[in-house]
Each structure stands twice: as structure tokens, then as C-alpha cells.
Amino acid sequence: MMQEAAIETQGLRVRFGDFVALDNLTMQIPSGSFLAVVGPNGAGKSTFMKTLLGLVTPESGQVRVLGKPPGSTPTQIGYVPQIKTFDRSFPALAVELVLSGVRRAWPGPLRAPERKLALEALERVGAERLAERALGRLSGGELQRVYLARALVRRPELILLDEPATGIDALGEKDMYHMLEAYRKESGATIAMITHDFDVARYHASYVIVMNRTLYGCGHPSAALCEDCLSRAYGHGKHDHKRTL
């Protein structure tokens, strides 16, 4: 029996005015996969994730996320954006930011059961000590951990991460991947992560897509990260693709 797809697209096309951001993306990502999405800057990777979230409407094609149209199951999806747009001077605590992932709005007074969920999520990412820290006093790596806790607080079936290693040092990055893998194995969730690091894609992912507005590789890392797929996606001849570009 074929494993149910967590993410499924057929002929997906997204256009912004005259610019085609995604063109003819067709894929099936099995549930429980650790998906790495790689491609050069401007390849449409973030647009792809926003389409999965229902934030971008395709011009044509089909998209199914957890078996339903994008945006149908927001409580079953956790998301960590690449760019954090909130005002760092906003007088709020880390635990409140995590709790906003439960209420899907900025929380008022914290109720005990919700606070317990938020603290458990912070502990899961090794950031329980940050619970009462003001957002403006968090480093880039600390803020990223808090956002990861926010994504996990509802124990989602699908986690979408847009370059989650941004602002995290090498040790913290290693811890993050181990934490994500532990959550995936424990819960059966699917993880989809944008990364520029081919080593991360090769050694942590079970499934990889290589894209530059369209697909150039899709499947097991050993197949998708082949020299031909990478050369066509990045638009240049052969050289060592083993390290981060």
C-alpha cells in the first residue's frame, strides 16, 4: 500500500504579475518524511512554503497538504519563518510568543494549562530558561529556539521551516536537527525545511527536492543531490557541490 502523502502537488504554477515564481511543480512527499528543499536564492523556495500554508494562491495546478487544500488545517501545521517581522521593542515575554502558537493570536492573561504547554515546548528545544525573558533581550539564536517552540507547541503533524539554522551557532544547529529528528520519530510528523547546506540535506533529510522555480531533483538525497540536478538548478557547470553555497 502506498504511503499517504503529506504534501502533494500537481502542475503547481504561481505567478506574480509577469514573473513566474513556480512552474509545473509535481511531487508527492510521504508522511513522516524529513524533507529538505534546496535551490539558489530566488528559486521560489519561500514562495513554495507560503503556498503550502495557503498564504499564496496558485495560478494553476493542484496542491494538497495533509490531504486537504492549503490553509484548511492551520492547527496541524507549525511554521518557522526566515524573517521575524515583529517589533523587538514590543514589551512581551518569550513564553507569550510561544503561547501565541496555541491561540493563533497574541495572548492576554496566561491560563495555567496553556502556560504548561508553552513551557513544555520551550523545554523540548532547550530554551526553558528563556520563558520569562523579554523578546528584545533575546539573541538571534535564542529567538530562533523560541520560534521553534512556538511551531511545536500544538504538536503539529507538519512542520515547515524556512532556513531554521539562521542565527544559530554550530552546536545549537546540531542540537536543533537532533531535536527535530526526535520529534519526527516520536510523533510521526513530517518536517519540511529550506536549507542552503547540502550536507544538512544529505545527512539529515530522508527526502530532498532541488528546485529553481521548477523541479530539477526529487527523491532520496543520493538521487536528488546528484551533480546533474544541482548543475541544472544552479545554472553552472560541474564543481564541488558538497559544501554550503
Beta carbons of 34 and 181 less than 8 angstroms apart:
yes
Phi/psi-derived region of residue 54, left when phi > 0, alpha when psi is between -120 and 50, beta in every other case: left
Cα gap 161→80, rounded to integer Å: 5
Q: What is the pLDDT of residue 86?
A: 63
Question: Residue 244 has what pLDDT?
Answer: 43
Q: Which helix (H) or strand (E) holds 211?
A: strand 207-211
Phi, psi of 80 (to 5 degrees): -120, 110
Task: Find the mean pLDDT for residues 175-202.
Answer: 92
65-74, 75-84, 185-194, 236-245: least confident range: 236-245
The mean pLDDT of the chain is 87
Per-residue 3-state assignment (H helix, E strand, C coil) for 33-99: CEEEEECCCCCCHHHHHHHHCCCCCCCEEEEEECCECCCCCHHHEEEECCCCCCCCCCCCEHHHHHH
- Mean of the pLDDT values across residues 34-56? 96
pLDDT of residue 194 exceeding 80, the answer is yes
Mean pLDDT of 113-129: 89
Residue 188 · residue 32 · CB < 8 Å = yes
Per-residue DSSP letter, 245? -
Q: Is 25 helix (H, G, I), strand (E, B) or coil?
A: strand
The pLDDT value given to residue 90: 73
Q: Averaged over 28-46, what is the pLDDT?
A: 95
What residue segments make up the domains of the chain, in order of their start? Answer: 88-156
Rounded Cα distance between 133 and 82, Å, is 22
Mean pLDDT, residues 129-149 taken together = 88
pLDDT bucket at 107, cuts 50 / 70 / 90: low
- What pLDDT band is residue 184 in, cutting at 50, 70 and 90? very high
Q: Which letter, b or e, does each residue of 55-89 get, where b requires 16 or more Cβ atoms within 10 Å of its Cβ?
A: ebebeebebbbbeeebeebeeebbbbbeebeeeee
Residue 3 has pLDDT above 70, yes or no: no
CB 95 within 8 A of CB 114: no
pLDDT greater than 80 at residue 109:
no
Q: Is the pLDDT of residue 144 over 80?
A: yes
Helices and strands: H and E segment counts in the chain: 8, 9
Q: Per-residue pLDDT for 218 more than 90?
A: yes
Residue 121, pLDDT score: 92
Question: In the predicted model, is pLDDT for residue 211 greater than 70?
Answer: yes
How confident is the model over 157-174, as pLDDT tens digits? Answer: 999 999 888 777 788 788
Q: What is the largest CA-CA distance in the chain?
A: 58
pLDDT attached to residue 100: 83
Cell of 146: 523560541
